[in-house]
Chain A
Amino acid sequence: MMARFYLFLVVILCCAGCGDEEVSESNQRSVDGAVPVVVAVNYPVAFMAQRIAGDWLKVEMPVPADVDPAYWEPSVEQVVAVQQATLILLNGAGYASWIEKVSLPQEKLINTAAGFGEELLPLESVVTHTHGLAGEHAHAGYAFTTWLDLEQARAQATAVLEALIHLSPERRAELGENYNALAAEFQQLDQRWQLVGASLAKDGVVFSHPVYQYWQRRYQVSGPSVHWEPDLDPGDREWRDLDILLAENPIRWMIWEAEPMPGVRAALAKRGVESLVLPTVSNRHAGCDMMAVLLDATSLIERSL
């Protein structure tokens, strides 16, 4: 299981063609009621909200750009600020555990993953423990990078659309139009990922982190996961474990959340493993929106295959 806290890895990708980023990090929201403020717990949901809504509301994600939103913990002041939002968009699947430890207005919470709750993947390899009267239990949950399955991402966008229509019924047509455009982009990328998945599955894949569960399921790319950080050398023990893994499994690709260190990339290449970068886009990227980041990464992967 991943450590509870770790610094989020800033993806340094070629961002040519990226548009201006509109999702705000600010906690200073307008309270005069003129502009509705929607708070999202991670960037994918914030991106969907902004794309569907357009400019008539302000979408905020109060997580600093260098922190993984899944493990971010807000201060009391930040919680009080979030309480004032018009809507609070949750990713669902237990993403952002801070939600369980704060007081937020129930009526403002929208679980964007509620539509596919039955299909969530439970996390594997968690420590189960027993104490007191509670009996045996585990502090485990579900895999939460739900949006990497673009069909699920579309379902989350649908939940966002419904919440926004509820907020402003008179904008139904405009919102629907924006949603359709976004859904079409998801569908196009989904088709490209289907092909990428089919190609990767033939050669064998290892994942640098266990965060691709839904991507693996949707695009049928099975493979083990390790716990390697892109900006760190994994160390001798991890290299030995990888060698054992390679001896047992034919693996040609390692999928990273961000560009690995050149030395690590070279050492992998020596072992016959090529590195590919598929960002999870949990947090915003400087000057790039979610689709731009994913499209660029997909193009690079396609060229590599």
Chain B
Amino acid sequence: MRGIFYLAWRYLAWHRWKSLILVAAITLVVFLPAAIQVLVDQTAAQLGVRAASTPLLIGAKGSPLELTLNSLYLQSTPPASLPFSEVDMVRQQDLATPIPLYVRFKSQGAAIVGTSLAYFDYRGLAIASGRSMAVLGEAVIGSSVARDRSLSVGDHVLSSPESAFDIAGVYPLKMPVVGILAPSFSADDNAIFVDVKTAWVIEGLGHGHQDLAAPEAARAILKKDGDTIVANASMVEYNEITEANRDSFHFHGDYSQRPLTAIIPVAKDEKSAVILAGRYQARDDDVQLISPPRVMDELMATIFTVRQFVVAALSVVGMATALVVILVFLLSLRLRQSEMNTLRSIGGGRWHLATLAAAEILMVVVVSGALAMLLTWLTERWGTTVIQALIVS
């Protein structure tokens, strides 16, 4: 038997290109449906866990998927904003603790999440080094941001302008890193967290500048008319909040009208969640309460449907491939007729010849199967991150 396997191996090695093509074809036919199955299942599980931990989400009326992706996965374009007064409204109902979210700005691609301290407790995020933000302008960064940018406590991060062509837009804000989160293996690892008020400063709703009533600001005054002072372009606006200038920072407009992208209402219990959901359903204004698990289930259902089509198509391709492989082997046997005659001449029986052909097929199939398993394992190990990024973007 060893001789037969040796002959089969030598044949496959001699015709290496034909053998490699056969192995590659069979490997792909086995690997692709398995990989799709693994990726979809893992993505569904990961997205589902995050969604399941956020059963309710309040936002402005619009795409629930966009709201969910922005608020839970810190991706996608920002949804329409809702006023901060909504936080007070949730609080007054005494059914849930509202956690404000303002996920609009970025720093070198990383989402800047304007929120409150309650977010860290809610997501179970622990500070690995440093501390949580305490004063306006401070930032706590996710573990991946710290690792990728080699940042540590005491370094700074800079908010990115929303548009390179918006030269009249808000200044980038330089924020000291006061804390680094422990890895949570979630979207939070890739985010930068600031107080929601700091996010409003980034937007320009709050800012700090020279005291225009002070004598040293005389050069920055364009016009003075009674109690009204008009400043010129030379007025110094601060792009970093420091201990020295913190007092000069102030906000404009009504506090209750400042924008948020979402509110996570952490309901007291199941009953409170149901009551809250009911109250929002009864409202006919521009605010909606959605269920992220339901939104993600719908997204996953769409993906599962697509997967079924893809797997069905791949199955047909697999059958066709199997037929082609069989054809290749049959043609190969015909082309090898003289070789078979030689084997018969030196004493090889029909059984030996059949075993030799089977051994060749078996070796190709085993190698292909092993390769397909290896690739599936690699996909299981590292493929989810890639596919999740593809889905959410």
Q: Which of B131, B135, B251 is in CB contact (< 8 Å) with A102?
A: B135
Is the beta-carbon distance between A103 and B117 smaller than 8 angstroms? yes
Contact: A131 with B135, CB < 8 Å? no
- Given the interface pairs A101-B246, A103-B134, the reply to whether A130 lies near B229 with Cβ below 8 Å is yes
State which residues 150-190 of A face B: CB under 8 Å.
166
Q: How far is the CB of A139 from chain B (nearest CB, A)?
A: 5
Q: Which of B60-68, B230-238, B361-369 contacts A (4 or more CB under 8 A)?
A: B230-238
Residue from the set A83, A125, A130 with the largest chain B CB neighbour count within 10 Å: A130
Q: In the assembled complex, which residues on chain A have CB atoms less than 8 Å from the CB atom of B168?
A: 133
Given known pairs A83-B117, A129-B230, the reply for A101 and B135 (CB within 8 Å) is yes
On whether the beta carbons of B227 and A107 are closer than 8 Å, the reply is no
B interface, size bucket: 35 or more
Cross-interface CB contact of B195 among A76, A103, A127, A134, cutoff 8 Å:
A103
Q: Looking across the interface, which residue of chain A has its beta carbon closest to that of B134?
A: A79
Chain A proximity of B181: nearest CB distance (Å): 15
Residue on A with the closest CB to B92? A114
Q: Given A100-B251, A139-B250, verify A106-B235 contact (CB < 8 Å).
A: no
Q: Once bound together, how far apart are the Cα atoms of A53 and B246, in whole Å?
A: 35
Which residues in B have their C-beta under 8 angstroms from that of A76?
134-135
A-B contact count (CB 8 A): 91
Asked if B134 and A137 sit within 8 Å, CB to CB, the answer is no
| CB proximity of A84 to chain B, nearest CB, Å | 10
- CB B356 to nearest CB in A, in angstroms, measures 76
Tell whether B91 is near chain A: CB-to-CB under 8 Å: yes
CA distance A139 to B207 in the complex (A): 11
A83-98 vs B, Cβ < 8 Å mask (1 yes, 0 no): 1000000000000000
Partner of A125, one of B98, B227, B230, B247: B227
The distance in angstroms between the C-alpha atoms of A126 and B229, with both chains bound, is: 11
Is B174 an interface position by the 8 A CB rule?
A: no
CB<8 Å pairs between A and B, sample of 25: A4-B247, A100-B250, A100-B251, A101-B135, A101-B249, A102-B136, A102-B195, A103-B116, A103-B135, A103-B195, A106-B91, A106-B116, A107-B97, A127-B228, A128-B228, A129-B212, A129-B228, A131-B212, A131-B230, A132-B204, A132-B237, A133-B168, A134-B207, A137-B252, A166-B94
Query: Told that A83-B132, A103-B132, A130-B228 touch, could you supply 8 new A-B pairs with CB distance under 8 A?
Result: A83-B117, A100-B251, A106-B116, A128-B227, A131-B231, A131-B235, A134-B252, A166-B94
Chain B positions near chain A (C-beta within 8 angstroms)? 87, 91, 94, 97-100, 116-118, 131-136, 138, 168, 195, 197, 204, 207, 209, 212-213, 227-231, 235, 237, 246-247, 249-252
